[in-house]
Amino acid sequence: MNLYGKDLITTQEWSRDELTAALELAEDMQKNRFSPKYSDILAYKTFFMFFYNPSVRTRQSFECAATELGGHAQYLEPGAMRLKTKKTAGETTEDAAKVMSRYACGIGIRILEDKITKYGEGDEMLREYARWADIPIISMAHDKYHPCQGLADIMGLRKHLGKDLKGKKLLLYWGHGALARSWCSVQEALLIYSRFGMDVTVACPQGYDLDPRVVETARKNCGENSQKFEIIHDPVEGYNGAHAVYSRNWMGPNAYHDGEFHKQEEIEKAMQYTDWICDQTKMKLTDRGRYIHPMPVDRGHEVTDEVCSNNNV
């Protein structure tokens, strides 16, 4: 299997064998961290990181990984670069991608919520870079998908629930909160968990539908694995028998209009659903369920402190 030069924009575009190979390699790298086995595989190489949005864990993890593998991760703020946008003149994506391909071994891009004017715009940008670059384009979270987060989540579940996840139940649970989060992490979760044979239940209030194309793909993934996929609108029912609970706030499908992201409107709407919090009473309905969250967690809204401290992966 050769993954050399392969883009990672969503895990759905990798085969199950490719995903498993990446996970097994990551598990071995974790086991042999700092050993000579991996410490120079990126020697003298640079990885570019475009951060349109701020980050804590993503930036730290990529920079640490590059350093520990013998390379360097270069932090770039697109706002400080002369890149062409809809509103400003500058270097085109085609030209930028071709030049950067001569310098680096890969390009990571993070673009979320308020840095786009409509859903799908970030995904279009990544694919335009992938079209022109001769090096891999890696999503570090964009408006549609967060593949690295999805892989990290599956890696954690393989550790805690066993490497065979077929038949295990995932509850993907909407949580009220004051952050108006994008769909990237939850949609990636839908796709990758369903690929690995889990039953998937999405629980959310009416009016918080995800991308219908992503939902249909996840439903198809579950069908191919002879597993169940369902969407419910009850704040308690989905916890019954769950092995993993992924509680996360996400925006509604009308968050973008008039060419901008209406964050405050989303927050005010979400804060009305106070029953939609993952707490210990609900977790007791699970099958010794593990709690998952990609962070930053909105404690007291998406989930209680008690659950965060006692049930996490």
Does residue 132 share a domain with residue 175? no
List Cβ<8 Å contacts ≥24 apart for 26-33.
26/151, 26/155, 27/155, 27/158, 33/68
Same domain as 245, residue 190: yes
Q: Which domain holds residue 27?
A: 11-142
Would residue 1 count as lying in a domain? no
Residue 259 makes CB contacts below 8 A (sequence gap 6+) with: 117, 118
Provide the β-strand partners of residue 237.
none
pLDDT, tens digit only, all 313 positions of the chain: 889 999 999 999 999 999 999 999 999 999 999 999 999 999 999 999 999 998 989 999 999 999 999 999 999 998 888 887 777 778 899 999 999 999 999 999 999 999 999 999 999 999 999 999 999 999 999 999 999 999 999 999 999 999 999 999 999 999 998 889 999 999 999 999 999 999 999 999 999 999 999 999 999 999 999 999 999 999 999 999 999 999 999 999 999 999 999 999 999 999 999 999 999 999 999 999 999 999 989 999 999 999 988 765 5
Indicate the number of domains in the chain.
Answer: 2
pLDDT of residue 313: 53
Domain finish residue from 110, 142, 174: 142
Which among 107, 142, 177 is the end of a domain?
A: 142
- Both 63 and 17 in a single domain? yes
Q: Where are the alpha helices (DSSP H) in 170-297?
A: 184-195, 212-224, 263-270, 280-283
For residue 282, count other CB atoms closer than 10 A to its CB.
Answer: 24
Q: Does the residue 154 lie in any domain?
A: no
SS3 249: coil
At residue 113, the 3 state secondary structure works out as: helix
Paired sense of beta strands 256-257 and 244-248, if any: unpaired
Nearest to 191 by CA among 157, 229, 159: 229
Q: What is the pLDDT of residue 311?
A: 61
DSSP symbols for 13-38: GS-HHHHHHHHHHHHHHHHTTTSTTT
CB neighbourhood size of 23 (10 A): 17
User: What amino acid is encoded at 252 in this protein?
Assistant: G
Both 178 and 306 in one domain: the answer is yes
Last residue of a domain, one of 82, 110, 142: 142
Task: Note whether 176 and 125 are same-domain residues.
Answer: no
Contact 179, 298 (CB under 8 A): yes
Does some domain include residue 2? no
